[in-house]
Chains A and B, each alone.
Chain A
């Protein structure tokens, strides 16, 4: 009997819903218009590498491509290596913040000829060893590598086997840190945190609890606006001083971050390609957008809109 009732109730409910629905708006009624087709842009496949700074570049480019050029932008969340692979298969048109990656350039630009360079983004990438601000303030001399050994014992952790701990960690970048520690005769051990998340959390704790942490980090990075880490100076970089990975004893070079596009995209005549090629902004610009995304928790599109509306002149230079 119970089932009878249930069926009856379900039937009534359905009937009720159907009746109330008659007044509802129908799918597709007001969706006309939308993308006003300026220019013949077509689809723009934009790779999104997994760090917020990159996302800031991509969000702004995607916003401009969609709203000013009328492109259909396909954003694809991919690691660098896989994104470069996508140039050859036609699934990725552009990578819009590239950190060096000479190995990938050799493989995809020189050998397979599936990718070409599209000029610098204007951002300067710094890689190096950083300490939390409280530490730099309490012991200013720590910012010179020559004094690191004096403090080595303070950096000891459960992982570092009696030496000071140098926290390395984002596996995406080549690090010379093991060679550096050896060649600069530092009493440190490189410990692999394994992810950017782990590094940021380590610095966040260190600043809050006044802990001793030194590690590998980079700028531009949104986290710097939350905790402005201080860079430790290593022996100055000179061209070629990092040629032999085993013997490196100098700082990392300043990377001119650049853009890479697929060879096909470069020849396509798409207005999106011209925009990517002309795209150029400063570290401050990127940090602004990245902070909107990471600290203010805005959606990337909303963050891009906010910046574009405030910086119309810069944007116009990219799409002329």
Chain B
């Protein structure tokens, strides 16, 4: 989800030739790209339909069969293999114990009690107290209100199950991520080695490794925790490494010259100075873990995800929305609290205000109050089980269902026309160009474009990716997916520029839009798939819309930040020379935030790619469907794995090209 969060910031440091020379080269570059496309079109007209490497839905290649055999032999030998007996089983036991402990604390009955050890009042108390202690009283209030809302929705136990799993998964992820991140921050070589693995962990669809995970770690909390941790750890590793790297060199040198050992420099200088950014990494890890809630439900992980998945079996949009909203509320609370914590890590240090003297006593008093609440919730039924029947939840569900029905009844003519126009004018021709050209022609064009935009290294990476894509045996499906991905990214960027500029120019708009953007990012896509299906049918277009909903917020936020970062003096200067608003936007603000635009494209694409599998569930076919089918049918497992690898390859290819291009343009 959050590939390359920290990467872009590196871009500013590159030294580039002086401006005039670069201007000429930019013009040349777009000309060359146009020429490549022209040659491609001409050859496409001649060679259409030849060597397209298409493969029917049920057909397999030798590679796919080999993947199947490996998977089968692991399953067959699981009970006799010492690796399982002494390694995987031990890991499973440790993690199971951890998760069960947290669950019995807050969500599941255990140890002879009909309710968990800590009831709702205690959890709300702890949440409020911790938020206040690490953040400020405003987020504490938010946490108390948010958690109480979960109870009012009638989803207290489900929410706590989700919280328990998220807390355990984040704990396991950070246990590995922070040390690895520090290492990657200190050693360039390790950083280079670990980056491709992180890309892999973030872009490989979870569906692909969900079934094998249950083979290694059995059905149960351990598998769900590990699946979540695999996906959630990379942001923390990347951001920690970035934090360590951005400590000013002079500071480290000063420590050196004072005779600090490496260990001292790390513990006394590097870690404290990067604390703020590391907390942001924790924030990203929590968000990524919450994004896995519905997926983990497919291997019996308890919680809100299960409610969503079950409601959708009977197309019950209202109930699914209610549970999705609970996930959003939890995500926003956790996000704001960790953000406040990271701000505090910055400001609290060294601020010698008189409040600091009182703070210790206040913290102690708050702690005692929280403990009293915990005791009450442990002892008394009214504080243990959330009172009421969740009437708020029922009315939310009913409203959501009514709104959906209204939209389906009144909008579907409009939406169908829009869908057909976009599909016929943009998607179909582009997809035909990609899937009906000979594979070597598409490959050559991709490599050439990569080399022109990103330099010879990006070209070489593209060549390797193209080669491996052919080897996966799902080339044709990959090209279909590529076409939809490209169209979705174009739409994401359109939305990103329009809303991003608007938000960047007005603080009020920013404050109004931001919560909806956050909600769109964390609301499980499963929830809005049903209304989208009703509006657009089971088509590639539905998949594109779902991807745009998920990916646009990131692009919008990045562009808004970029526009805001344009110095106010520059804008004022332009205004005083008589530019109108349109001119200021197109001639000053957008060109000056070119770096942000490229980054938004990069992130938009990666986010769109992470929705490929979801798209497969609503009619996108191609790689997404291959992955879903591989998860559902044993004999298609190998093909699903190959399709998953193809998604990773597409992601890596685009990431490297856009990043290299970003380095070139934003010099």
A contact residues vs B (CB 8 Å cutoff): 3-4, 6-7, 10-11, 14, 17-18, 21, 24-29, 31, 50-52, 55, 76-82, 85-86, 88-89, 91-92, 103-104, 107, 111-112, 157-159, 167, 169, 171-175, 178, 190-202, 204-205, 209, 222, 245, 293-295, 297
B219→A76 contact, CB < 8 A: yes
Beyond A7-B365, A77-B310, 12 additional pairs, beta carbon < 8 A: A7-B362, A76-B219, A77-B297, A81-B637, A85-B75, A86-B218, A158-B424, A174-B58, A174-B633, A191-B619, A193-B619, A197-B617
A89→B355 contact, CB < 8 A: no
B380→A25 contact, CB < 8 A: yes
Residues from chain A with a CB closer than 8 A to the CB of B210 are 82
A11→B369 contact, CB < 8 A: yes
B314→A293 contact, CB < 8 A: yes
Please report the C-alpha to C-alpha distance between residue A297 and residue B398 in the assembled complex, in whole angstroms: 12
Least Cβ–Cβ distance between B627 and chain A, in angstroms = 9
Please report the C-alpha to C-alpha distance between residue A4 and residue B306 in the assembled complex, in whole angstroms: 44
B634→A103 contact, CB < 8 A: yes
A27→B384 contact, CB < 8 A: yes
Interface segment, one of B4-12, B328-336, B485-493, B528-536: B528-536
Please report the C-alpha to C-alpha distance between residue A157 and residue B539 in the assembled complex, in whole angstroms: 9
Least Cβ–Cβ distance between A14 and chain B, in angstroms = 5
Chain B 291-309 per-residue mask, 1 if CB under 8 angstroms from chain A, else 0: 0000001111000001001
B424→A18 contact, CB < 8 A: no
Please report the C-alpha to C-alpha distance between residue A286 and residue B596 in the assembled complex, in whole angstroms: 57
B214→A82 contact, CB < 8 A: yes
**A197 touching B312 in the complex, CB below 8 Å, given contacts A10-B369, A21-B380:** yes
A27→B379 contact, CB < 8 A: yes
Tell me the nearest residue of chain B to A92, going by C-beta.
B219
Output the residue of B314, B376, B529 with the most chain A CB within 10 A. B314
In the complex, chain B residues 66-123 whose Cβ is within 8 Å of any chain A Cβ: 72, 75-76, 78-79, 112-115, 119
Residues from chain A with a CB closer than 8 A to the CB of B434 are none
Q: Does B382 contact A (CB under 8 A)?
A: yes
B412→A205 contact, CB < 8 A: yes
Sampled A-B contacts (22; CB under 8 Å) = A3-B358, A10-B365, A18-B376, A21-B383, A26-B380, A29-B381, A77-B306, A78-B219, A78-B298, A81-B634, A85-B211, A86-B219, A107-B634, A157-B537, A178-B56, A191-B619, A195-B618, A197-B529, A198-B617, A201-B315, A222-B314, A297-B314
A171→B632 contact, CB < 8 A: yes
Tell me the nearest residue of chain A to B543, going by C-beta.
A194
Least Cβ–Cβ distance between A84 and chain B, in angstroms = 8
**A80 touching B632 in the complex, CB below 8 Å, given contacts A3-B358, A24-B380, A50-B309:** yes
Residues from chain A with a CB closer than 8 A to the CB of B650 are none
Q: Does B147 contact A (CB under 8 A)?
A: no
Closest 7 pairs (CB-CB, A-B):
A294-B314, A193-B538, A171-B629, A201-B533, A24-B380, A198-B538, A158-B423
Least Cβ–Cβ distance between B662 and chain A, in angstroms = 34
Residues from chain A with a CB closer than 8 A to the CB of B383 are 21, 24
A7→B366 contact, CB < 8 A: yes
Please report the C-alpha to C-alpha distance between residue A149 and residue B179 in the assembled complex, in whole angstroms: 64
Output the residue of B358, B538, B617, B619 with the most chain A CB within 10 A. B538
Residues from chain A with a CB closer than 8 A to the CB of B152 are none
Please report the C-alpha to C-alpha distance between residue A111 and residue B76 in the assembled complex, in whole angstroms: 9
Residues from chain A with a CB closer than 8 A to the CB of B114 are 27-28, 31
A194→B75 contact, CB < 8 A: no
Chain B 373-387 per-residue mask, 1 if CB under 8 angstroms from chain A, else 0: 100101111111000
Choose among A21, A194, A293, A294 the residue that contacts B628 (Cβ–Cβ < 8 A): A194
User: How many interface residues does B have (CB within 8 Å)?
Assistant: 82
B621→A194 contact, CB < 8 A: yes
Please report the C-alpha to C-alpha distance between residue A197 and residue B530 in the assembled complex, in whole angstroms: 7
Q: Does B624 contact A (CB under 8 A)?
A: yes
Output the residue of B380, B534, B637 with the most chain A CB within 10 A. B380
Q: Does B220 contact A (CB under 8 A)?
A: yes
In the complex, chain B residues 411-468 whose Cβ is within 8 Å of any chain A Cβ: 412, 419-420, 423-424, 428
Tell me the nearest residue of chain B to A45, going by C-beta.
B219
Residues from chain A with a CB closer than 8 A to the CB of B628 are 171, 194-195
Least Cβ–Cβ distance between B435 and chain A, in angstroms = 11
Residues from chain B with a CB closer than 8 A to the CB of A200 are 315
Least Cβ–Cβ distance between B313 and chain A, in angstroms = 5
Residues from chain B with a CB closer than 8 A to the CB of A11 are 365, 369
Q: Does B176 contact A (CB under 8 A)?
A: no
**A171 touching B533 in the complex, CB below 8 Å, given contacts A78-B219, A82-B219, A194-B624:** no
Q: Does B316 contact A (CB under 8 A)?
A: yes
Tell me the nearest residue of chain B to A15, going by C-beta.
B372
Output the residue of A6, A159, A169, A173 with the most chain B CB within 10 A. A159
Please report the C-alpha to C-alpha distance between residue A10 and residue B537 in the assembled complex, in whole angstroms: 54
Choose among A24, A112, A192 the residue that contacts B76 (Cβ–Cβ < 8 A): A112
Residues from chain A with a CB closer than 8 A to the CB of B529 are 197-198
Residues from chain A with a CB closer than 8 A to the CB of B190 are none
A192→B355 contact, CB < 8 A: no
Please report the C-alpha to C-alpha distance between residue A249 and residue B306 in the assembled complex, in whole angstroms: 40
Choose among B218, B313, B428 the residue that contacts A196 (Cβ–Cβ < 8 A): B313
A27→B380 contact, CB < 8 A: yes
B634→A194 contact, CB < 8 A: no
Choose among A25, A50, A80, A159 the residue that contacts B382 (Cβ–Cβ < 8 A): A25
Least Cβ–Cβ distance between B603 and chain A, in angstroms = 26
Least Cβ–Cβ distance between B229 and chain A, in angstroms = 19
B309→A14 contact, CB < 8 A: no
Least Cβ–Cβ distance between B358 and chain A, in angstroms = 6
Least Cβ–Cβ distance between B44 and chain A, in angstroms = 17
Residues from chain A with a CB closer than 8 A to the CB of B312 are 197
Please report the C-alpha to C-alpha distance between residue A29 and residue B355 in the assembled complex, in whole angstroms: 45
Residues from chain A with a CB closer than 8 A to the CB of B537 are 157, 202, 205
Q: Does B57 contact A (CB under 8 A)?
A: yes
In the complex, chain B residues 604-631 whose Cβ is within 8 Å of any chain A Cβ: 616-621, 624-625, 628-629, 631
Please report the C-alpha to C-alpha distance between residue A112 and residue B74 in the assembled complex, in whole angstroms: 12
**A294 touching B313 in the complex, CB below 8 Å, given contacts A197-B617, A202-B533:** yes
Please report the C-alpha to C-alpha distance between residue A35 and residue B90 in the assembled complex, in whole angstroms: 33
Residues from chain A with a CB closer than 8 A to the CB of B115 are 27
Residues from chain B with a CB closer than 8 A to the CB of A173 are 633
Q: Does B215 contact A (CB under 8 A)?
A: yes
Residues from chain B with a CB closer than 8 A to the CB of A191 are 538, 619, 621
Least Cβ–Cβ distance between B124 and chain A, in angstroms = 12
Choose among A55, A158, A245 the residue that contacts B313 (Cβ–Cβ < 8 A): A55
Residues from chain B with a CB closer than 8 A to the CB of A202 are 533, 537-538
Least Cβ–Cβ distance between A72 and chain B, in angstroms = 12
Please report the C-alpha to C-alpha distance between residue A4 and residue B534 in the assembled complex, in whole angstroms: 56
Output the residue of A11, A85, A107, A111 with the most chain B CB within 10 A. A85
Least Cβ–Cβ distance between A154 and chain B, in angstroms = 15
**A88 touching B75 in the complex, CB below 8 Å, given contacts A24-B380, A159-B619, A171-B633:** yes
**A192 touching B625 in the complex, CB below 8 Å, given contacts A52-B314, A79-B632:** yes
Least Cβ–Cβ distance between A179 and chain B, in angstroms = 8
Residues from chain B with a CB closer than 8 A to the CB of A157 are 537, 539
B376→A78 contact, CB < 8 A: no
Residues from chain A with a CB closer than 8 A to the CB of B423 are 158-159
Residues from chain B with a CB closer than 8 A to the CB of A104 are 634
Residues from chain B with a CB closer than 8 A to the CB of A3 are 355, 358, 362
Choose among A17, A86, A111, A178 the residue that contacts B376 (Cβ–Cβ < 8 A): A17
Please report the C-alpha to C-alpha distance between residue A157 and residue B372 in the assembled complex, in whole angstroms: 64
In the complex, chain B residues 626-653 whose Cβ is within 8 Å of any chain A Cβ: 628-629, 631-635, 637
Residues from chain A with a CB closer than 8 A to the CB of B534 are 201, 204-205
B540→A159 contact, CB < 8 A: yes
Tell me the nearest residue of chain B to A300, going by C-beta.
B310
B299→A82 contact, CB < 8 A: yes
A169→B362 contact, CB < 8 A: no
A91→B218 contact, CB < 8 A: yes
Residues from chain B with a CB closer than 8 A to the CB of A103 are 633-635
A24→B369 contact, CB < 8 A: no
